[in-house]
Amino acid sequence: MENQYGLIETIKNGISLIYTKLFYSNARLIRLPVYIRGKKKIIFQKGLTTGYGCRFEAFNIKGSNIQKIFIGSNCKMGDHVHLAAGEKLIIGDNCLMASKIYISDISHGQYNGSSFNSSPNESPDQRPLFTQPVHIGDNVWIGENVSILPGTTIGNGCVIGANAVVNSNIPDNCIAVGIPARVIKKYSFSEERWIKFSNEEKQNSEVAK
Ligand SMILES: CC(C)(COP(=O)(O)OP(=O)(O)OC[C@H]1O[C@@H](n2cnc3c(N)ncnc32)[C@H](O)[C@@H]1OP(=O)(O)O)[C@@H](O)C(=O)NCCC(=O)NCCS
């Protein structure tokens, strides 16, 4: 795709490029402003490109001084992508993310019916942080305004539709949309096309959750 940046945008990109090469030499372009917390716990392979206002946060919740966020090679993100991890958030190679995306392995408290559940009388920011790793495969395209919640895995080659909330696992080479995200299509390598899931298959994917 041809880049047609105006003068101001070209200057902003130039400043961001100098910043990138000084502080994140293996990235392609990290646009300013960017907010990075726990830099040593965030690893990315070469070629990362980000839009404006991205926020990457790695916390010492499960284990200190170990890497929490892994971003594969040649990933591209739009504006205001927020990644937060206290245990493990893995993003594969060649992933494309639109803007306003939230991906995290952290929750303020637990709500799953176990005896460790958080009390509503406790201030939410005082509830013990609970983590469940998130894993996103290679060649995944994530649409605008998507949230990917703790404990989820998205397989290689998936597409996550705009505005989806992913709270369960999505198998390889599927398109998932909606809240909660459900698989609507799967790629058939024998037919070389995306095939719509029947309603029965959609229901089975819900049962398998
Ligand atoms: C997910 C997506 C790629 C699907 O495209 P598609 O396969 O051509 O989708 P279709 O038009 O065949 O839709 C299939 C079904 O899913 C529904 N659907 C499609 N996208 C949806 C979405 N984002 N949320 C909810 N439902 C959606 C359609 O309404 C349709 O439902 P139906 O079978 O009940 O009629 C596309 O809709 C999308 O969300 N793209 C992301 C756009 C974006 O964020 N771009 C940013 C640029 S990086």
- Return the best residue to mutate from 184, 188, 198 for the ligand 1 pocket (most ligand atoms within 8 A of CB): 184
Return the exposure string of 141-166: e unless at least 16 CB atoms fall within 10 Å of the residue's CB, then b: bbbeebbbbbbbbbbbbbbbbeebbb
Cα of 161 vs centre of ligand 1, distance in Å, is 6
- Return the best residue to mutate from 158, 177, 199, 205 for the ligand 1 pocket (most ligand atoms within 8 A of CB): 177
- Pocket of ligand 1 from Cβ distances under 6 Å: 98, 143-144, 159, 161-163, 175, 177-178, 184-185
Which residue's alpha carbon is nearest to atom 39 within ligand 1? 161
What does the domain layout of the chain look like in residue ranges?
Answer: 33-110+124-198
Choosing from 80, 82, 108, 135, the catalytic residue is: 108
Other residues' Cβ atoms within 10 Å of the Cβ of residue 54: 23
Which fold would CATH assign to domain 33-110+124-198? Answer: UDP N-Acetylglucosamine Acyltransferase; domain 1 (2.160.10)
Cα of 2 vs centre of ligand 1, distance in Å, is 26
Q: Answer yes or no: is pLDDT of 127 > 80.
A: yes
Cα of 177 vs centre of ligand 1, distance in Å, is 7
What pLDDT digit, counting tens, does each position of 180-201 carry? 999 999 999 999 999 998 766 6
Q: Is residue 108 flagged as an active site residue?
A: yes
pTM over 0.75: yes
Averaged pLDDT for residues 120-136: 96
Contacts of 126 (CB under 8 A, 6+ apart): none
Give residue 149's pLDDT band: very low, low, confident or very high (50, 70, 90): very high
